[in-house]
Structure 1
Amino acid sequence: MREALAALELLGIVDVRPGSGTYLRGAASELLPKTLSWGLMLGQQRTRDLIEVRNELEVQAARLAAERATDDELALLREHLDAMRAHHDDLQQFVDADLRFHLQIGLSARNPVLLDLLQSLRSLIRVWVDRALHDEHHIRLATEEHSRVYDAIASRDPERADAAMQDHMRTASQRLVASLDSNGS
């Protein structure tokens, strides 16, 4: 059930609000068919293209979050980072915290179109994200990168947030592409 709700949240169909419940999003009827049609077209090159687009959108989201995040949103972002640190030995918990970290950045950017695009892209490449983090070295590196992104956003420095997210997306992309190549998709 938890994984199904997480998948629906990533697809942009529901909003999960800790302590409150799970709520259906209004635009879900428009987002789901598009996400499913994109998923049908995925191949190795299409996935590489999606990774490139996602990278740029993540950078833009980090830049906007540095300008717009509230103190409460920064606290949530910190909680997700702390959860990543606490779950280096539990890959699924780590990946879930990673996804929530990125989702919170998207929410903090306060741009619903950007958020919807990011959620669609994340859902399409999620299987590769899950496969790309498979050893302690990559998990530690990803945590360090997320920490730099958090620090830049928390200091409300859009340029630093941009640079930190670019660095993170570069290494995350390398892991994703290596995962694609090793699976011969």
Structure 2
Amino acid sequence: MTGRPFTPPCGLPPFTDKLPADVQKKLHEIWKDYKNGEKCYNEQGETRELLHSLPKEVRKAIFKHPPLPRPLTRAPKEVQQQFKDILEDKSIPCEDKFKKMHELAQKLLKGETLTEFNDFYNKIEEHKKHIEALAEKLSPEAKQAYDKLKDLRKQRYQIYQNLSEPARDELFDLWQEKCYSFPRPR
């Protein structure tokens, strides 16, 4: 497996039902002609543009919590909540969250939902192994830099997790401004 496994999947975003009705309608319009298995670059671009045009408060509400993996979106709401609790639990290190979710999935999920979740989890594990195998082949200088950057990522996560909600909101505003206000060529 190569590349990033976390590019947005084709299709309606999993949080569509949390959006205002008019935005849901626009999203359905964007994706109405999409056929499963086709490329969806245009639809993804239009979706991204639409989401970035939303008021700041709406975007915050959508992106405040990490999204559940797509296989879990079909599970009952009370089951979804147990997975959300893992994602939002600050005492669980970031790198352990998927393992905890996998353990919970084996207890709670059944049938096709469990199969799809296990496929998702296996892809994540394969990707981790692939990245670590590539990292082992780095030159000593590059490996040292890679390890430092990995540690910085963990530190960044910890810093963010320890912030108050107002401080997180301030950073969210800053990142949104930084990412989406820079003029882009059209």
Q: Relative contact order (alpha carbons < 8 A, sep ≥ 6): 1 or 2 greater?
A: 1
Q: TM-score, normalising length from structure 2?
A: 0.31
User: Larger helix proportion, structure 1 or 2?
Assistant: 1
User: Larger strand proportion, structure 1 or 2?
Assistant: 1
Considering only CA atoms, is the larger Rg found in Structure 1 or Structure 2? 2
Q: TM-score, normalising length from structure 1?
A: 0.31
